[in-house]
Structure 1
Amino acid sequence: MKEVTVMIKEQTATPLLLPYRELYKMNKEGAREKLIETYKRTGSISETARLWGTSRNVVRKWLRRANEGGSLSDLSRRPKNSPRKTDDWVEVVVLYEKDKKNRGPMRLSSEIKKKYNISIHPNTVAKILKRNEAKTKKYRTIPGIKRSFYPHESVDPLTHFQVDIKEIADIKALPRSCYEAIFNNNLPRYQFTAICVRTRIRFVAYGYEKSCSNGIGFLVLVVMWLRRHGIKGEIIFQMDNGEEWGGMSVRKVKHIQEKILKPLNARMTRIRKGRAYENGVVERSHRIDDEEFYAVHLDKIFSEEDFLNNALRWTYIYNIERQHFGRYMDGNTPFEKLKSLIPNIKEEIALFPPFILDKIIPIYQHIPFAKKDKKIKMGRHSQSGNNLYVQYNSVFKK
């Protein structure tokens, strides 16, 4: 009997070369079959567990599963009853809105409540998206450089603006049909943007040229608009070192600051070179423009007049209707945030008309160093400039 036991141990010593845990990582079902084969040779649960370096409970579990004729694969751990499980039709709604608008969990939760009257927590939305592998495209900043904390709550509303120019004809951001529509229909190529960092109220104008006259003219129009609506404090424009804002020329910048903006109680301040994230609020708004306006509507716009009408509607949606979930916004629209800070403010201040800067009376007449714009072909509207109030009326005539 002793000789038989020694023979069995010698025959079953091979599995010790590869412990059960390592074999399990390589092939789960194969490891469990080896356990059963070893037990059939040894006839001992304890000996099988010792040889494979595992517990007796593991050996018992898979012996019981084999005797019952069950599969050696992992069984589902899903509970039989889930009384608090989200209804399937609600998941369909979440996935539909995600695919349609590419929103994050907080915005999806808010919009589903508003549109379908379905209350669903943002964490539940996030789990539904994760379970269905519905991912949102993410953008990263420069490695190793932290985002600057912007003191949003320390500035007065409508006094501190981030300003930038956006090239609308960006082939990397737009579908080809929308990109080609800009040139085929002779639509504006550039968007001039000023956004209030405290409230996210945004003023936008357009141009066919990225020129200093258009850039400075835009700043003057924004200041005039704010003064017209009762904003009396100093206005600060934060921007990069682009040529449309004077560039690196000390003489140009000094002239703009002292002769043009200072009399209006306004001034410019610059971000550091190569640090676009310091103007992150306006940069983020440009991404929204691409995703929710240009990529959706440009290929359906066939004239400058249609473009202005759509741009004005988009201004209304962005400032009045669209919720924002950035820092300190808490799901409010820009105008709701502004209204909470200045209760007597009127809605009209958020409806800055989308001017074509090239067609307004050239402000560069008061800027001696600026290069005068050449006459641009505008189809039926071919002209080098027109009256400001004519342009304003053309935008609001409908």
Structure 2
Amino acid sequence: MSHANAALTPRHRLKVAQLVVDESWPISEVAARFQVSWPTVKRWAERYRTGQPMTDRSSRPHNSPNRTAPDVVKRCVSLRLRLREGPVQLAPRLGIAPSTVHRILTTARLNRLSHVDRATGQPVRRYEHDHPGSLVHVDVKKIGNIPNGGGWRFAGRQQGEKNRAATPDKPKSKWHNPKMGHAFIHSVIDDYSRVVYSEIHDDETALTATAVLIRAHDRFADRGVTVERVLSDNGSAYKSRLWHQTCAQLGITVKKTRPYRPQTNGKIERFHRTLADGWAYARCYTSETERRDALEGWVHYYNQHRPHTACDNQPPFSRLINVPGQYS
């Protein structure tokens, strides 16, 4: 790609060369016509005559005597993954400058510890299926219910305790401090498009989880998406016979994450963090009913209006076009 101030673009370089080589124009006349020097015209004509491309050559030298040895680079990456130390700490171990260590780590995309998995020390491996419905992730997010008048996050500890004590129909507790119970958000998210389907319930049983999956399956089907696989953790609801029977009836292949490895289901784990920031604790709700009523609107905003970095800063619904069978 030519630079911003180049007199000749690759297309005009080809035109210049063709005028000289193919049409036998004088070099001086072509140079005057295109307002460039005659050595420039001669250079592109010679490249055209020898069959070379009209694009800029790389400025990288053919030989770099001071280049860091491959063994040093390999050891630097190995120490970074094993010790998780920065350039200042790794430089004395390798006998090179910290700036050189930083350059090596940047080239290997290991300059930030967030690029390295904390559990294994290995580089984070990201994946994405190639079409909607190829894989959906399911999980449950557990949050505490809000007392009437607002919870402690916005009302403060003292007022929050008063609101909790004054809220009727609380779950029974053996402790003197009344409990508010929990809400369970069941979510199903498409791996490719990031379109999500969420419902809020009072339990996380297999019966509730399978009912949510069926409704999510129907919702995706309305958009022309056929769910092929479902990935879940090893929770009791997803290990139940009812779950496997329901998936078999829907024609969905069941997949499980490795035990104690939530990163495999990271897309829905990340969605639940966004859910907590954008909906669950985004503002002061005066009751649990008010917060639950706001869930559907927030999910609609997430799917159809909120820019998503994995979708090129477009809403997830923007990827639900040209799905298999949509226009057949």
Supply the distance in 2 between the matched residues of 1:191 and 1:182 (Cα, whole angstroms).
Answer: 21
Supply the distance in 2 between the matched residues of 1:192 and 1:139 (Cα, whole angstroms).
Answer: 29
User: Which of 255, 279, 303 is the equivalent residue of 1:269?
Assistant: 255
Match of 1:221 in 2: 215
The SS at the match of 2:299 is: helix
Match of 1:176 in 2: 153
Supply the distance in 2 between the matched residues of 1:194 and 1:147 (Cα, whole angstroms).
Answer: 27
Match of 1:339 in 2: 321
> Is residue 268 of structure 2 the alignment partner of residue 282 of structure 1?
yes
Supply the distance in 1 between the matched residues of 2:232 and 2:257 (Cα, whole angstroms).
Answer: 6
Supply the distance in 2 between the matched residues of 1:238 and 1:182 (Cα, whole angstroms).
Answer: 37
Supply the distance in 1 between the matched residues of 2:254 and 2:261 (Cα, whole angstroms).
Answer: 17
Q: For the aligned residues, what is the CA RMSD?
A: 3.4
Deviations 1:344-364 (A, max 9, x none): 69xxxxxxxxxxxxxxxxxxx
Spell out the pairing of 1:10-49 with structure 2 (5 A cutoff).
none
* Structure 1 residue runs without a partner (length 5+): 1-137, 247-251, 346-398
- Distance 1:235-1:310 versus aligned 2 partners, 3 A rule: same
What letter corresponds to residue 130 of structure 2 in structure 1?
V
What letter corresponds to residue 118 of structure 2 in structure 1?
I
Supply the distance in 2 between the matched residues of 1:205 and 1:182 (Cα, whole angstroms).
Answer: 24
Match of 1:199 in 2: 193
Spell out the pairing of 1:333-372 with structure 2 (5 A cutoff).
333-339=315-321
- Distance 1:316-1:198 versus aligned 2 partners, 3 A rule: same
- Check conservation: 1:223, 1:235, Cα contact below 8 A: no
Identity %: 17
- Check conservation: 1:238, 1:269, Cα contact below 8 A: yes
1:209 deviation in Å? 1.2
Supply the distance in 2 between the matched residues of 1:204 and 1:147 (Cα, whole angstroms).
Answer: 31
User: Which of 236, 256, 261 is the equivalent residue of 2:243?
Assistant: 256
What letter corresponds to residue 312 of structure 2 in structure 1?
D
Deviations 1:278-303 (A, max 9, x none): 11111111111111211123x32425
- Distance 1:321-1:238 versus aligned 2 partners, 3 A rule: same
Match of 2:306 in 1: 322
Supply the distance in 2 between the matched residues of 1:150 and 1:139 (Cα, whole angstroms).
Answer: 10
Deviations 1:106-137 (A, max 9, x none): xxxxxxxxxxxxxxxxxxxxxxxxxxxxxxxx
Supply the distance in 2 between the matched residues of 1:170 and 1:281 (Cα, whole angstroms).
Answer: 25
- Check conservation: 1:238, 1:270, Cα contact below 8 A: yes
The SS at the match of 1:300 is: coil
Deviations 1:255-298 (A, max 9, x none): 532x322121113210000110111111111111111211123x
Supply the distance in 1 between the matched residues of 2:136 and 2:118 (Cα, whole angstroms).
Answer: 24
- Distance 1:318-1:234 versus aligned 2 partners, 3 A rule: closer
Match of 1:296 in 2: 282
The SS at the match of 2:131 is: coil
Supply the distance in 2 between the matched residues of 1:203 and 1:340 (Cα, whole angstroms).
Answer: 20
- Check conservation: 2:220, 2:227, Cα contact below 8 A: no
- Check conservation: 1:188, 1:207, Cα contact below 8 A: no
What letter corresponds to residue 322 of structure 1 in structure 2?
R
- Distance 1:147-1:205 versus aligned 2 partners, 3 A rule: farther
The SS at the match of 2:198 is: strand
- Structure showing the higher helix proportion among its residues: 1
Supply the distance in 1 between the matched residues of 2:292 and 2:208 (Cα, whole angstroms).
Answer: 17
* Structure 2 residue runs without a partner (length 5+): 1-113, 169-179
Supply the distance in 2 between the matched residues of 1:182 and 1:158 (Cα, whole angstroms).
Answer: 42
1:207 deviation in Å? 1.0
User: Which of 219, 229, 232 is the equivalent residue of 1:239?
Assistant: 232
Spell out the pairing of 1:89-128 with structure 2 (5 A cutoff).
none
Supply the distance in 1 between the matched residues of 2:181 and 2:116 (Cα, whole angstroms).
Answer: 31
- Check conservation: 1:239, 1:270, Cα contact below 8 A: yes
- Distance 1:200-1:208 versus aligned 2 partners, 3 A rule: same
Deviations 1:66-86 (A, max 9, x none): xxxxxxxxxxxxxxxxxxxxx
1:188 deviation in Å? 5.9
- Distance 1:145-1:285 versus aligned 2 partners, 3 A rule: same
What letter corresponds to residue 142 of structure 2 in structure 1?
E
Supply the distance in 2 between the matched residues of 1:139 and 1:285 (Cα, whole angstroms).
Answer: 19
Spell out the pairing of 1:32-71 with structure 2 (5 A cutoff).
none
What letter corresponds to residue 233 of structure 2 in structure 1?
D
What letter corresponds to residue 189 of structure 2 in structure 1?
I
Aligned length: 193
1:229 deviation in Å? 3.8
- Distance 1:285-1:256 versus aligned 2 partners, 3 A rule: closer
Supply the distance in 2 between the matched residues of 1:316 and 1:323 (Cα, whole angstroms).
Answer: 12
Deviations 1:341-396 (A, max 9, x none): 57969xxxxxxxxxxxxxxxxxxxxxxxxxxxxxxxxxxxxxxxxxxxxxxxxxxx
What letter corresponds to residue 203 of structure 1 in structure 2?
Y
Supply the distance in 2 between the matched residues of 1:336 and 1:229 (Cα, whole angstroms).
Answer: 12
Deviations 1:229-269 (A, max 9, x none): 433x45211010011212xxxxx34x532x32212111321
